Amino acid sequence: MLKLDGSYGEGGGQILRNAVALSTYLKKPVKIINIRANRPNPGIKAQHYVAIKCIKELCRAEVRDLEIGSSEITFKPGTVKGGKFKFDIGTAGSITLVYQACILASLNVKEPITINLTGGTDVKWSPSWDYFKHIFLPLIKKMGIVVFPNLILRGYYPKGGGEAIITINPTEKVIPLKTSYEDDFSEVMGRINISNLPEHITNRIKHTAIKTFLKNDLMTSIDIEQSTSLSPGVGITLWSQTNDALVGAAVLGDKGVSSEEVGMNAANNLLKEIQSYSTVDVYAFDQILPYMVIAKRNGPSCCKVRELSNHASTNMWLLKQFFDVEFEAVQTEDNIKITVK
């Protein structure tokens, strides 16, 4: 049984979710200790609990010490089978983080899996729903992994109550990712989501973002989605792509932060990626790393990133515990070229 220290490196919920997902994919039992030990509120939180419970149900695993607040768990996976599943995170915990764990765990499935989740769709420290849909899913689709997303209702902090459904298709082969910077980014797409807040907020966010991109000779098209939810909320997700590259950025509105700041922060975050000639943004790179490693049996994967985040470095460490893999990082003037082999 593989034993992992959940406090290593960044030491967050990512180690727990990815370790359980990879355990399921490889059918390799794991014991994870010191879960989130260095965090102010250590141990398993609600969204981590639901992620593990969901994977447990998907593969009929044997799990010990799976409780909210627990500092360690033992996970012995079974075989993932197709079907329909429904789970409620019970808080505004991130739906997208749970989905990412489930997709990774289900790469060997022979029949489609449909998962209905209730929780937070647009919350702090996790991919927004639109980032998940327009950046993460298209990137893994390039590697042969097809997932159909369906948003039912937005959910924001603190009440959550959002709902979404995904269907994971069987994956025949994980294809190596090979991205190159051949064409300049020329257009930015985006979506602003808002619920239970005045309309002028979205207009100010949108106008600020568009003005920022126009100064950099980028055409911009941003949609606005208005809805109702249990808690008020607003956020913006932006992305830009060429034939080969795809980068994105997302920012949530917050108390004390003006609409103009939200729009400008989101635009500037995306501009950093574009101006570094990256082919994958910093956050997406961290999220697709496991797939790049799994694909190495079919050849090396490569991409260019602006920088290596702490999350990515921790993820690399974790992946080395499961796989015989090398990460080659070559610093250039503008970015880092990463090759997984």
3-state secondary structure (DSSP) of residue 313: helix
- Report the alpha-carbon distance of residue 202 to residue 285 in Å, rounded: 29
- Report the alpha-carbon distance of residue 14 to residue 323 in Å, rounded: 17
- Known catalytic membership, residue 200: no
3-state secondary structure (DSSP) of residue 149: strand
Backbone angles phi, psi at 189, to 5 degrees: -105, 155
Task: For tokens 């635009």, name the residue.
Answer: 267
Catalytic annotation, pick one of 134, 200, 207, 311:
311
Token pair of 119 as six digits: 């929780």
* Strand ordering across the sheet containing 62-64: 2-5, 30-33, 73-76, 62-64
Whether the Cβ atoms of residue 69 and residue 43 lie closer than 8 Å to each other: yes
Pairing of strands 30-33, 2-5: parallel
Please identify every residue annotated as catalytic.
Answer: 311
